[in-house]
Amino acid sequence: MKAEQRVQVRILGAPRPYSYAWYFDPTAGELPLKVGDRVELPPNQVQEEGSSGEVVAVGTGYKGELKSIVRKIEDAYERDDDLWGGFGQGAYS
């Protein structure tokens, strides 16, 4: 069961935050977004490859249809794999 959460996202260089939808399944252990989370955004007319931003508010006054957030960008300490695996080892360390 997917739940919809509406958030406002600040995109670097944008004059104001934009509203997006986040769909998550609480029965599968997925979490809602919170202020400060970094997210990947879908492509649009200006940025054909998509962009990223930071959640600055939970909820929005916008009542229309929203584009969906692609994914939450995990911080390095939240990752399952070792982002820096092998750093400081090898022939050049």
CA–CA distances in Å: residue 64 to residues 3, 6, 61, 80: 17, 11, 9, 36
Round to whole Å and give the CA distance between 87 and 13.
Answer: 33
Q: What is the pLDDT of residue 50?
A: 82
pLDDT tens digits for range 7-40: 999 998 889 999 999 999 999 999 999 999 999 9
Q: What is the pLDDT of residue 48?
A: 80
Q: Is 40:50 a contact under the CB 8 Å cutoff?
A: yes
pLDDT confidence band for 64 (50 / 70 / 90): very high
CA angle at 30 for the pair 27 and 34, rounded to the nearest 5°:
130
Round to whole Å and give the CA distance between 30 and 28.
Answer: 6
pLDDT tens digits for range 39-54: 999 987 777 888 899 9
